[in-house]
Structure 1
Amino acid sequence: MAVVEIDEGDSPLILGFPHTGTEVPADIAARLNDVGQQLADTDWHIHELYNGLVPGVTRVRATFHRYVIDANRDPSGTSLYPGQNTTGLIPETDFDNQPLWRDGQGPTAVDIADRLARFHAPYHAALAAQIARVKARHGVAILYDCHSIRSRIPFLFDGKLPDFNIGTDSGRTCDARLEAAAVAVTSQAPGYSTVLNGRFKGGWTTRHYGTPDRQVHAIQMELTQSSYLATETAPFAYDSTKAAKLRPILADLLQRLVHLAPRLPR
């Protein structure tokens, strides 16, 4: 199985997709219990939602599921949100705190080392290579990490999540003008809600690569699945009508990021 899919573009913008993959090798799938085999915590159809929104973007997509190993977690296993409920590098529970693995079949230290080498590292090697290529061409690279999640998950957060959850690690991972553009577009979108650096401040990808002083800028966008899926339960069907309303907003946002690229410090 190909661990990563890469589509090279000629713009300064890179779209990352660490959580849309649904491939699970047979030996790992056999260890998942009934809950785990549902793959419920997928960022369903996100790569389809963003497809073709702006020309020339580079896309880097992990094909493996986050239950194999989470490409948006620190490879050291350090928590992104100390003191808060979250899931780990190889999750042992789902977002509802339900066990994922058959009794005695959970991930071991050997599994972690193996899957870091087979899946996590190749994905990030590909992403890093594309960032370097784009930066060499434009003098700057903008990484926009694409995510989605159910709008209500009591184990992870209270109440209902805003539709647009923008993460920049409290402004550390990108130029302030990029952050402001993301907030401006989403906060002015009628019928949607927005938060900046709320429950989700950006995962390991955003925090690791977002180094504005080195001309690499990163933003994470966590969308509620209710904004583009028919339901947030199985079969997690893509809703073309909802998506048709959401896609122009996302296109406007991405285009603004592209237009800002030449103004960023070199």
Structure 2
Amino acid sequence: MTAPVFSFTPGSSPVLVTLPHTGTALPAGMEARLTPRGRMLPDTDWYVDRLYAGALTRGAGVLRANYSRYVVDLNRGADDAALYPGRPSTGLAPLLSFDGDPLYVPGQEPDAASLAERTRLFWAPYHDAVTAELARLRDIWGWAVLWDGHSIRSECPRLFEGVLPDLNLGTHGGRSCDAGLTDRLIRHAAGLTGYTHVLNGRFQGGYTTRHYGQPSGHIHAIQLEIAQSAYLASEDAPWPADPAKEARLRSVIDGFLDIVIAWRPEGSA
């Protein structure tokens, strides 16, 4: 490995922001095994770390993955169980892009031993860090909130029909987060001008939201999947940002984080 598995800066509030798909690093030798399309890393959550630039100044901790989701997808369980049965699964170690294009040169796909090694080297340290930080926050505050930040193309026929709303909030069908906090977030989204939104639509939260969001254990989790059309000048390579769109969306995300950071569970001091 030429880069640390993740970058982490703790915050001063009970909120942890996780960014599992913004990384673009690859371990030594992997790039040569990828197709030309695969080497472009088309399914990266482009610039999402920039969208969350205000998190630290607001007191939220930030844990950002440095390696590409093509190495191992940190928002999938280590058992590679399907998140949305009946839909194409993107996989713990994806072999196809979201469009269905092969990512590996024929014969260079990872085998079971390689996947186990990637899980040990990349997946486990990341999730160990998430687990430890949420436990630390809960010990200090009595509760913790995990905010999992993502983005995806607004149209991806292989994975979903039609055009995705701009802001896709997911709480695993209401199971991963306190209903009162969710209501505040949806009211905020409904008051935004120029953005569409949905709660628990096509994206209800991946492994991170479903695994860590345990309100009965005083840990709440929300996923925000952003349509890339909301901040990119083009959703095609080389995925140029639109500075004005990006600045406006950063303000929207700051608003969401302000709500989460200010929230207190019912009955807390």
State the TM-score, normalized to the length of structure 1. Answer: 0.97
Alignment partners' CA distance in 2, 1:26 and 1:125 = 23
Change (3 A) 1:264 1:240: farther
Please say if 1:26 is aligned against 2:28.
yes
Q: Secondary structure at the match of 1:10?
A: coil
1:246 to 246, 249, 252: 249
Asked whether the 8 Å contact 2:154–2:164 carries over to 1, the reply is: yes
1:102 Cα offset (Å): 0.5
Asked whether the 8 Å contact 1:228–1:242 carries over to 2, the reply is: yes
Show the 5 A alignment for 1:1-266.
1-53=3-55, 54-261=57-264, 263=266
Asked whether the 8 Å contact 1:86–1:95 carries over to 2, the reply is: no
The one-letter code sitting in structure 1 at the alignment partner of 2:147 is Y
Change (3 A) 1:264 1:157: farther
Q: Percent identity?
A: 45
Asked whether the 8 Å contact 2:18–2:64 carries over to 1, the reply is: yes
Alignment partners' CA distance in 2, 1:261 and 1:114 = 40
Could you list the per-position Cα deviations for residues 165-215 of structure 1 after superposition, in whole angstroms to 9, with x for gaps in the alignment? 011010000100121122111122111111111111100000000000000
- Which ranges in structure 1 are unaligned for 5 or more consecutive residues? none
| RMSD (Å), alpha carbons | 1.3
Q: Secondary structure at the match of 2:263?
A: helix
Asked whether the 8 Å contact 1:228–1:246 carries over to 2, the reply is: yes
Asked whether the 8 Å contact 2:58–2:258 carries over to 1, the reply is: no
State the TM-score, normalized to the length of structure 2. Answer: 0.96
Alignment partners' CA distance in 2, 1:165 and 1:40 = 20
Alignment partners' CA distance in 1, 2:200 and 2:219 = 19
Change (3 A) 1:8 1:24: same
User: Which structure 1 residue ranges, 4+ long, deviate > 6 Å from structure 2?
Assistant: none
Could you list the per-position Cα deviations for residues 76-99 of structure 1 after superposition, in whole angstroms to 9, with x for gaps in the alignment? 011111111230000010000111
1:64 Cα offset (Å): 0.6
Count of equivalent residues: 266
1:127 Cα offset (Å): 1.0
Could you list the per-position Cα deviations for residues 32-86 of structure 1 after superposition, in whole angstroms to 9, with x for gaps in the alignment? 1111101000000001111124511100111010000000001101111111123
